[in-house]
Structure 1
């Protein structure tokens, strides 16, 4: 018996025709530029109209990874990217879980707090960066004025590279914490109340309830948040652009790619329009994300099968 729902003959083509617009959109918006990036990484493309394009093979990769001071700076950017991702992922994940447990209580007005915590997400990176740039402005900004009352002073984003990066980590977490929280809330609301009632009858403590019921049942949300946080923080660069600018000792890989491809200048530091080189750097970043993301996903899936069956 034929259970095919689209009929016979030409009607069988209906699902493929329905898929074509979406596939075309994916090809133009996602797959096409990705392939073009790979091709451009083997050229000396500058992105400037009228310039000649030459095929240079692996020269961009050799320069990025092995050639002189530039490669040392690039490895520094790679290290800062990993440090940034580690702190953003661990802190944002932990705070998101804590806030989700807090605002998932059945209390009056709790939706107001959910809205407040989620509100930064809808602002966009530029608005988020500008808000904190004004707040942290060392010459008369609100935080500088508060510190001045106690005889303290800090250059904040314009100070030492480590201090500036620490503030970007803070703003990155503040800006995206709402997404992590909402994913955990969605997971918490799928846990059957019967499990909690049974644990309460058996006299389980709050920690025992969390360890044996809440945490295992949150496994899908845990997996989603970890992957999103890791990948998002590895690719982050917009807040670095708005908050810090192109400065030695503060670049991460994502911002280095943007700066090399579209040209950035700050003080004595200048980057040219080198879109072929930036394309090679973006492939390196892609390999980094893939090299971290795939093993993490593999272990998370194994854990999920072990915990949930």
Structure 2
């Protein structure tokens, strides 16, 4: 009886370390680009670092966290930014999710020109945040901008990005910029559903709504879970559009932009504040904990839904 051949999943002798060597460049790059800055941020959060060369750095313990969360008027502004971040997350996630699902359902039909419309709805995703923000900033110019002209036809004036509705407009732009990727993920999920399920439902006399509720929606579970998590985390971390569209203005900033403004200097009018990178690092830790808690909660919810429909 012949002996079973010896298996060598990673080669023999000198070839055995080869997979580890092939992974090493990517691992080093990940440590340098991702893990290193994250560890540095965690350490800087307990210092008074400014990021200015030659300025000494002192260990201040939890002072930055105390100042951010409990130090009078400043902490109230920070907590207000935290509430705006949660508001931004809830509104953007809900509208972007539902709108992306609606577009996917419409563009999954055999409609003339559907490929063109898919391209048009996805196009904002590839533009980049700065281009998206500058386009809308020009569109919403208070004087001589297209929106101002349209409002002028009806005898109305609006400050758009300069007034209290600025925060709402940033949410509109955020949804416009990212609804395309939500739509594409839903489309991919719909096109993976076997046609036989719809044929069987039609034979049983199911209406279009019943087919969506009992066939499409359960079968879309992986796409629903992916979109929900991406929308929640993406909206919590959004800040670049605030920088491009409205800049630093009390009453409009979210937590992500507050981290940037404190770390790299914030400009309000003609006054630019000093860099406070230690303080910004502490704020980023607060944001990280917020994303972690809400992300884990969202992950628990989608995992429970996945067990319900796909177990």
- Bigger mean CA deviation after superposition, 55-64 or 73-82: 55-64
Query: What secondary structure sits across from 2:200 in the alignment?
Result: helix
Q: Tell me the alpha carbon deviations over residues 105-141 of structure 1, each in whole angstroms, 9 at most, x when there is no partner.
A: 2233211100000011111111111111111111111
Q: Is residue 45 of structure 1 aligned with residue 75 of structure 2? A: no
Per-residue deviation, 1:3: 2.8
Question: Following TM superposition, by how much is the alpha carbon of 1:293 offset from its aligned partner in structure 2, in angstroms?
Answer: 0.5
Distance between the aligned counterparts of 2:274 and 2:236, measured in 1?
23
Q: In the alignment, what sits opposite 2:178?
A: 176
Corresponding residue number in structure 2 for 1:142: 146
Q: Secondary structure at the match of 1:233?
A: helix
Corresponding residue number in structure 2 for 1:210: 212
Q: Does 1:236 align with 2:235?
A: no
Q: Distance in 2 between matches of 1:135 and 1:263?
A: 28
Partners of 1:227 and 1:297 within 8 A in 2: yes
1:112 corresponds to 2:106: no
Counterparts of 2:189 and 2:212 in 1: how far apart (Å)?
Answer: 13
Aligned partners of 2:73, 2:280: CA distance in 1, in Å?
Answer: 17
Other-structure match for 1:273: 275
4+ runs deviating over 3 angstroms:
268-271
Does structure 2 retain, via aligned residues, the 8 Å contact 1:248–1:269? no
Pair 268,69 (structure 1): closer, same or farther in 2 beyond 3 Å? farther
Give the distance between the partners of 2:128 and 2:111, measured in 1 at CA: 30
Which residue is equivalent to 1:189? 191
2:12 equivalent in structure 1? 8
- The answer for the alignment partner of 1:201 in structure 2 is 203
1:287 aligns with 2:267: no
Counting only pairs closer than 5 Å after superposition, residues 69-148 of structure 1 correspond to structure 2 as: 69-148=73-152
1:20 aligns with 2:20: no
User: Match of 1:303, SS?
Assistant: helix
**Deviation, structure 1 residue 296:** 1.1
Match of 2:61 among 57, 62, 76: 57
- What TM-score, normalized by structure 1, do the two folds share? 0.97
Distance in 2 between the 1:184 and 1:103 partners? Answer: 10
Q: Which residue of 2 aligns with 1:303?
A: 305
Report the Cα distance in structure 1 between the residues aligned to 2:299 and 2:49, rounded to whole angstroms. 35
Contact 1:247 1:269 in 2 (8 A): no
Displacement after TM superposition at 1:6 (Å) = 2.3
* Residue 222 in structure 1 maps to residue 227 in structure 2: no
Q: In structure 2, how many angstroms separate the alpha carbons of the residues matched to 1:55 and 1:120?
A: 44
Distance across 1 between alignment mates of 2:297 and 2:88: 19
How many pairs does the alignment contain?
Answer: 307
CA distance in 2, matches of 1:49, 1:205: 68
* Unpaired runs of at least 5, structure 2: none
Q: Does 1:164 align with 2:166?
A: yes
TM-superposed deviation, 1:269: 6.3
Query: CA separation in 2, counterparts of 1:269 and 1:306?
Result: 55
Instruction: Show structure 1 runs of 5+ residues with no match.
Output: none
